[in-house]
Chain A
Amino acid sequence: MPIKRADKTPMPVREAQMRARDFLEVNEGYTKSHASFEAERCLRCQDPVCVGGCPVNVPIPDFIHAVAMGDMAGAARILRSANPLPAICGRVCPQESQCEADCSMTTRFTPVAIGHLERFVADWERTQPPAAGASLTRKEKIAVIGAGPSGLVCAGALARLGYPVTIYEALHAAGGVLRYGIPEFRLPKEVLDWEIGLLKTMGVEIVCNVIIGKTLTLDELFGKMGYAAVFIGTGAGLPQFLGIPGENLNGVMSANEFLTRINLMGAYDREKSDTPVRVGKRVAVIGAGNTAMDAVRTSLRMGAEKAMVVYRRSDKEMSARVEEYHHAQEEGVDFNWLTNPLEVVGNAEGWATGLKCQKMKLGEPDASGRARPIPIPGSEFVIPADNVILAIGTTPNPLLTRTTSGLLTNPKGCLVADEKTGLTSKPLVFAGGDAVTGAATVILAAGAGKRAAQAIHEALVERSREPVLAG
């Protein structure tokens, strides 16, 4: 198939029928020739809008130019200078609303495939021997709470600055949402494990099974444990429920529960894993974000015959990455737009049998600027379903804030932190990622972790300069 330079070089994907039944990665990645062809499309704009669209301002034309020149090591170095998790972001960033949104190529053609190229470079990097570990040059110990992207990135940046860093993670494995939420077919665990391995070679210590706020309090990290500064990257993992009748029937669960049973606990492989998950013939997933797409596509892979998305707004208001939506369509997911769930109906044994819904129509824009869905009277109907999975959002986990005094949160339970530095209401306590913003994206979390590392460094350098008062 001849590819016109005007169009984005398509990502090679595995055939939909086949991939929808296993957990292997959907996107196969560019070959070298795909990558150099695509890299040549970049106009190397004087004033690149793409860079402004990226939350961490990756020097996009520079790394793409290096790819075009065949300088992979250079490309990797440029990429990493701005984005510590390129292999992950290349795969999961919502490029269509960030770096690729206003690419100059879009005025006439399709944007440069920045994400695909980023992934290509980072995957190449993984085939190379890892860079030498960092050396400890600072004596102040730093504690990082939570091993999600924000915590991992913050720890890595601090280690590079010479600090001894310990990450405390509540679960038995590091990665946060990248481990328990985003499925293997979108983000292979091998990619995550490589990043975590890199941190370990830099001397970062990861201690699992420690819940800060329970096992140790935040104040004890300073006192008893002797840390000089703390970064909080505890995410927004608490799932929301709708509060509709029938929500406690068996077979109804949050997307977090469904995905955790499968991704973290390995329920897709009953030979190796003791954790069960029961997936019926028909699965209805409520919501239309990345989490909903992951849940609905996972249910297909777990053997569901019919996997459905139910969303009260239309496809225009959907927040999922476009690529995931297209992949879900190809895999045969059914989309019920403008459909508002009213009640989960069940049988005498207490198992869900269906989702009672109501048709909606779009009205005037609401406070969020999105068209307000209005119920159509008399349009109630039941979608038969053995499982109902809720993917309607998450909020910050209160475990830490409930047991820490002086740590301010906003009414939504998010930590109050300075936008630039991540400094919270407590001295030498910094925070970033979903714990501060509410559920957002990997790159925003990573960016916040990186900025906080710099701010922690500056605060500690500042403190070491302060004269010690005699007396």
Chain B
Amino acid sequence: MARIIETRRLTPVTKYFRIEAPLIASSARPGQFVMLRVREGGERIPITIADYDRQLGTITIVVQEVGATTRMVCALGTGDDILDVAGPLGGHIDIAPGGHVCGVGGGFGSAALLCLMREFTARGDRTTAILGARNKELLILADELRPLCTHLEICTDDGSAGFRGFVTQRLAQLIEGGAERRPDSVVAIGPMAMMRAIAETTRASKVKTLVSMDPLMVDGTGMCGGCRVTVAGKAKFACVDGPCFDAHEVDFDVAMRRNKAYVQEEKQALDRVACLERRESR
């Protein structure tokens, strides 16, 4: 059981939560995730630890409503409890100190840049965060991230804020922009399509690139193998071997196909929850 102590709507479909989880807060590192469950009979879903405060014993998560469970999470408010929160799971992002790290966030993935940028800036790295969204309204956490990194880049598809275009285009400019701007390593966290595009963007220049894979998970502890992703031709379990992998070695085709395995069932579940919500609101 974990108590929610702060919530905030970031966009119509994403919500920010700060929750009491002292043990997780004391050991979390950038790139790790928690498994959570909101009700008896509920699914276990993986959610990235966006940030943590070891002193206060809290962790931050940002959840995007895509289906039944994320919708139930987002219906929770301050003072509510989350039934089960287990973590931190997965390995942390491991990059040698002293370089220029560029974090690229799309959708809820931008949230994961909070602790990443904070920790890497604090240890003396140069840090650039690139945030992407379709438009200004969908952009999240820019104000929170700005003080945490050396340099913040904003990209919107329609140009309503920052650079007009995709995060990949901006990243390509940085890579070509000479030693001053070129990152030594890139960490991309966001929708699979974005991470795949980032992998292609950095492939030729061989900039070390990590992507945070988000396959379907059941237990999150290495027990089911459902989260396997193909990396350099080998099956890896994202929950124990990942979730971050070398972007240039990941087989995105397989990963994207596997994430669609339960589309039908997920839709039924969502309809059921929506139906329940309607009944309750009546």
Contact = CB atoms under 8 A, between A and B. Distances in A.
A254 B224 contact: yes
Interface stretch (B115-123, B152-160, B256-264): B256-264
A254 B218 contact: no
A278 interface: yes
B172 interface: no
Given A250-B258, A278-B261, A278-B265, A397 B86 contact: no
A250 B221 contact: no
Given A257-B226, A397-B223, A247 B235 contact: yes
B85 interface: yes
Contacts of B264: 278
A274 B71 CA distance: 12
A237 B223 contact: yes
A106 to B, nearest CB: 38
Interface string B208-237: 000000000011011111101010000101
A398 interface: yes
Contacts of B228: 241, 248
Given A275-B43, A278-B262, A278-B265, A239 B223 contact: yes
A248 B258 contact: yes
Contact of A238 (B43, B44, B223): B223
A273 interface: yes
A210 B34 CA distance: 11
Contacts of B68: 274
B88 interface: yes
A264 B89 CA distance: 19
Contacts of B85: 209
B278 to A, nearest CB: 17
Contacts of B221: 170-171, 211, 237, 397, 399
B37 interface: yes
A228 interface: no
B24 interface: yes
A2 interface: no
Contacts of B261: 250-251, 278
User: What secondary structure prevails in chain B residues at the interface with A?
Assistant: mixed
A214 B89 contact: yes
Interface residues of B, number: 41
Contacts of A301: none
Interface in A248-268: 248, 250-251, 253-254, 256-257, 260-261, 264-266
B41 interface: yes
Interface centre among B222, B224, B264 (most CB of A within 10 A): B224
Given A170-B86, A237-B223, A399-B240, A276 B235 contact: no
A394 to B, nearest CB: 8
B205 interface: no
B266 interface: yes
B269 interface: yes
Contacts of A264: 219
Contacts of B240: 238, 397-399
Interface string A371-409: 000000000000000000000000001110000000000
Interface centre among B85, B219, B235 (most CB of A within 10 A): B219
Contact of A399 (B222, B230, B266): B222
B14 interface: no
A189 to B, nearest CB: 14
Given A209-B85, A238-B222, 15 more contacts: A172-B37, A209-B84, A215-B88, A217-B27, A238-B225, A241-B235, A248-B254, A250-B257, A257-B225, A261-B224, A265-B218, A272-B41, A274-B68, A276-B266, A399-B240
Interface of B: 23-24, 27, 37, 41-44, 68-69, 83-89, 218-219, 221-226, 228, 230, 235, 237, 240, 254, 257-258, 260-262, 264-266, 268-269
20 contacts: A172-B84, A209-B86, A210-B86, A211-B89, A214-B88, A216-B23, A216-B27, A238-B223, A247-B235, A250-B261, A257-B224, A260-B218, A269-B41, A275-B44, A276-B262, A276-B265, A278-B265, A398-B222, A398-B240, A399-B240
